[in-house]
Amino acid sequence: MQRTSISLADFREITGTTISERVAGYYGWQSTRRSDGTWAYDKTLQSAPLPVSKVVDGCGRRFEGPNYCSQDYLSLASHEAIKEAAINAIQQLGVHSAGSSALLGNTAISRQLEDELADFVNYEHLLLFPTGWAAGYGVIKGLVRPDDWVIMDALSHACLQEGAKAATRNIVSVPHLDNEAFEKRLARIRASHPHSFILAITETVFSMDSDTPDFHRFLDICRSYGAVSLVDVAHDLGCLGFNGRGQLEIQNAIGGPDILIGSFSKTFASNGGFIATKAAATKEYLKNVLLPPDFLKCSVANPSRNRASGASYCAIRRWRPASRTAVQQQLVPAFAIGPEWIHLSRRAVRYCAGISGRGRAGAGAVAQSVKPGCCLEFCRVSGSRRQQVADQDAGSKRPHECAR
């Protein structure tokens, strides 16, 4: 049967001896899609990433409409108090931290952010990274050696998969959220390698399927077989749970994992990432021995970014729990896929594919990579309800107290 549709995936394998031979086929296909108006990528914001945004799409058309793509789960990036905090930080310390945090790159602001976030996630020590990606990749590459083992949920984020591949060939992938399979595989590794270091990796909320592991079981299994647990909290820290501590809070498992990694790019109105550990030794070793200083380069301590994250953290922490429960109530039903949910998802996916017509800003990378009919709970929060919730909370005056 003749195939009618071609996708980006068809161009992953490339051949040829020159660069142009290797990429020309792809470029021809992309150019045709741009010229016939069906290229769904490369959208550019012309306004702040608001629930309704102005956008130029990848074919050069201007749109204004609901934004189901930008990752700004609580709309903090455009909150007056957060902007003011970032501007004050620039006035105080300039726009650049001028060095790796392993050298002279830290500022009083980045230190403060490390301390505050450590307290928030309930770990003793926290190390900032330039991005969540660098944190995930860096901690695995930094701690795992070729003879060690990594066992990870099959849908773990690319930064975790790539970190594992860069560190060892001993990687065991576990069917998504399947704690029984996880236990069987871990038991097998432990039986054949009684003295090996084993790192077990999962996430609190998986971005593509918006589901979550049973953490008590996961952590029990890790303890039983002497595996070190690493959990990525990028998607729910700050926006889920009564106090904003995400699924670990909801499942009463705060402090359970040995190591957390997280990102500021979803809820904390900035770029950046972190790892949180219980032992100062892990943080100091990673920072000074296992990772080259470039990993912790200048942008780690960028004053305005850190201030934006810090002010967001502060706003999240001080918000009335009742308001956060409202966010949670809007999110949690998404975990059980229901008709409204599926309907919303499909609509969101249509927007991002650019086929629902003009007047839609459409989504972008996130929605483009999500399965239709599956889960886009963050699209829900990114849409108008997100603004509603942010407005409600802003009304409590508390965020203004955070413009330090």
Judged by the rule CB under 6 A, the positions of this chain that interact with ligand PLP are: 131-133, 136, 157, 159, 203, 207, 232, 234-235, 263, 265, 273
User: Least distance in Å: CB of 226 to ligand PLP?
Assistant: 26
User: Which single residue brings its beta carbon nearest to ligand PLP?
Assistant: 132
| Nearest to ligand PLP of 30, 271 (CB atom) | 271
Q: Which residue, 151 or 231, has its beta carbon nearer to ligand PLP?
A: 231
Q: Which is nearer to ligand PLP, 155 or 394 (CB)?
A: 155
The torsion angles phi and psi of 203, rounded to 5 degrees, stand at -125, 155
Considering beta carbons, is residue 86 or 394 the nearer one to ligand PLP? 86
CB of 123 to ligand PLP, least distance (A): 17
DSSP H or E run through 192: helix 179-192
Closest distance between ligand PLP and the C-beta of residue 232, in Å? Answer: 5
At its nearest, how many Å lie between ligand PLP and the CB of residue 234? 4
Place of tokens 């299994």: 221
∠ Cα 246 251 254 (to 5°): 65
Distance, CA of 362 to CA of 95 (rounded, Å): 32
**Distance in Å, CB of 135 to ligand PLP, minimum:** 7
Residue 37, phi-psi category: left (phi > 0), alpha (psi -120 to 50), beta (remainder): left
Nearer to ligand PLP, 183 or 258 (CB): 258
CA-only gyration radius of the chain, Å: 22
CB of 375 to ligand PLP, least distance (A): 13
Q: What would the DSSP string read from start to end of 97-155?
A: --S-TTTT---HHHHHHHHHHHHHHT-SEEEEESSHHHHHHHHHHHH--TTSEEEEETT
Alpha carbon distance 356, 382 (integer Å)? 19
Q: Please, what is the minimum distance in Å from the beta carbon of residue 236 to ligand PLP?
A: 10
**CA 313 from chain center: how many Å?**
16
Helix axis angle for 384-394 and 321-335, nearest 10°, is 160
Classify residue 195 by burial, with Cβ atoms within 10 Å: 0-12, 13-18, 19+: exposed
Nearest residue (CB) to ligand PLP, 139 versus 403: 139
CA distance 214 to 1: 43
Distance CA 77, CA 268 (A): 8
CB of 272 to ligand PLP, least distance (A): 7
- The encoded tokens of residue 240 equal 């889920």
* CB burial of residue 178 (10 Å; 0-12, 13-18, 19+): middle
Q: Residue 158 Cβ, how far from ligand PLP at the closest point, in Å?
A: 8
Question: Closer to ligand PLP at the Cβ: 53 or 131?
Answer: 131
Per-residue burial over 340-361, b if 16 or more Cβ lie within 10 Å, else e, is ebeebbebbbbbbebeeeeebb
